[in-house]
Amino acid sequence: MSLKGFIDKNLSRWIQEQEGKTSEVVLSSRIRLARNLNDIPFPFLADSTDQSKVVELVRDAMEGQKDFSYLSRKNLSLEDRQALMEKHLISMQLVNDNKDSGLWLNKDESASIMVNEEDHIRIQVLLPGFELEEARKKADELDDALEQKLNYGFNEEKGYLTSCPTNVGTGLRASVMVHLPGLVLTKQINKVLTAVSQLGLAVRGIYGEGSEAAGNILQISNQITLGQREEEIIDNIKRVTKQIIDHEHNARKWLLNEKKIEIKDKVHRAYGVLSNAYTISSKEALELLSQVKLGIDLQLLDKESSQIFKELIVLIRPGYLQKLYGQKLSEKQRDIKRAEVIRERLRN
């Protein structure tokens, strides 16, 4: 299969679509709802019989949802699970756990349901750009459809009951994935992120908790769900994100006005390395791709669409490379194949 064919067949909607409000800064918006079933132990206490019961109950509840297919963890290779994680469709826990678990996934991969992860059910909607309200609407529709057939664990005082206390209440996590090279280059990023943390939001790396902020990409989300309505959680994230977007835009304007030659040089050097490298690590590739996207957004580099950034930050990851080439690859082999994929994608 050609690289273009692989991209068209295997990449999610949030990666392929570049349309979206403030998409030059906000790469994606995600809403996740944590739910558990009444009278069945939470996944970390559930035995194999309990786990299988949850899988079957959710399967029955999903009957009629023609747009969704079920992927059982036991039928997925490690590379398949890694690729799903790299597309932000499953968590690292679901990659590594050896439980009766799986994923319900719709055709464009904008909506998914993890089964037997940290909670019995994790509903997720992931959209391109700054679209938290639309993502919430779609997640609520799916949640309502399931709740008509399933008996959720719910307490009138505490709300939805979850494995982790920080998710009790609405069970809602709202997050945006943002690209902030301007704030990094102007050395304002730590100041801004400290302010974000003081406002009660969590700042994590590209793959969530415990991951690094590679390629100047960060995820910003609410830390608690108890005592707040869904509208309050989303309004807070939206308000703070808009401030971050403004700071990033101001940083980019300053760079363009005060450091144009230096930034143009950095951008074109990054493009040159990516276009000609024959071996490259994941970390270096993400850093250079970040610089190239900044150049595209500032109209200093007109050869590419900014969509290429979202495509490549997924395509160059270990699971995806091995899926693309259909074989297990050593770290050295991945560095070689990563450079090959980047050269071909830029050339085409």
212 is in an annotated binding site: no
204 is in an annotated binding site: yes
174 is in an annotated binding site: yes
Does residue 123 contact residue 7 with C-beta atoms inside 8 Å? no
Helix (H) / strand (E) containing 126: strand 121-128
173 is in an annotated binding site: yes
> What are 148's two structure tokens?
């008509």
CA atoms within 13 A on the CB side of 226: 13
189 is in an annotated binding site: no
- Give the C-alpha separation, 69 to 113, whole Å: 10
208 is in an annotated binding site: yes
175 is in an annotated binding site: yes
23 is in an annotated binding site: no
Q: What sign does the CA torsion over 52, 54, 56, 59 have? A: negative
Residues 6+ apart with CB under 8 A from 138: 31, 110, 111, 125, 127
Does residue 167 contact residue 225 with C-beta atoms inside 8 Å? yes
Residues 6+ apart with CB under 8 A from 69: 104, 105
316 is in an annotated binding site: no
35 is in an annotated binding site: no
275 is in an annotated binding site: no
29 is in an annotated binding site: yes
CA atoms within 13 A on the CB side of 92: 6
Q: For 87, which DSSP code? A: T
136 is in an annotated binding site: no
338 is in an annotated binding site: no
122 is in an annotated binding site: yes
Count other C-beta atoms under 10 Å from residue 326's C-beta: 8
Residue 252's closest CA among 192, 179, 182? Answer: 182
Output the known binding site for ATP: 28-32, 88, 122, 173-177, 204-209
Output the known binding site: 28-32, 88, 122, 173-177, 204-209
